[in-house]
Amino acid sequence: MPTLYVARSQSFEKWAAEVGLTKHVLKVGVAEGDPAEAVEALNAQSYAGSNDWKVLKKRAAEDIEESAIIERLARRENMVDPKYYPRLRGATGIYKIKLANVQNVRVR
């Protein structure tokens, strides 16, 4: 069963704050099985130039693909465009999060 997960990296947050994005950036993805294994794979490939990604939250997702999640979330939050930042090299699913939106999230 697919699992939706949210991961963060302290080194990536530090870099994002330095380049003017915001320090509130998260990676959203979908993993088959345990998201910890997916995050280990992100760390092994130094996803977005960082290798200290950790799972913050996970939730079972029924029959949904990562591209659909990314598209749906992009309507509410600003996805970081990997074309503008060479460090990202095609990394998708990284979002700038507004704290006001995090505090007002309603889980359905």
Task: Parse the chain into domains and list their residue ranges.
Answer: 2-103
Q: Which residues contact 69 (CB under 8 A, 6 or more apart)?
A: 4, 28, 29, 30, 61, 93
48-93 pLDDT, tens digit each: 999 999 999 998 888 788 888 888 888 888 889 888 888 888 888 8
9-60 pLDDT, tens digit each: 999 999 999 998 888 899 999 998 899 999 999 999 999 999 999 999 998 8
Q: What residues does 1 pair with on adjacent strands?
A: none
pTM: 0.83
**CA 68, CA 71: separation in Å to the nearest integer?**
5
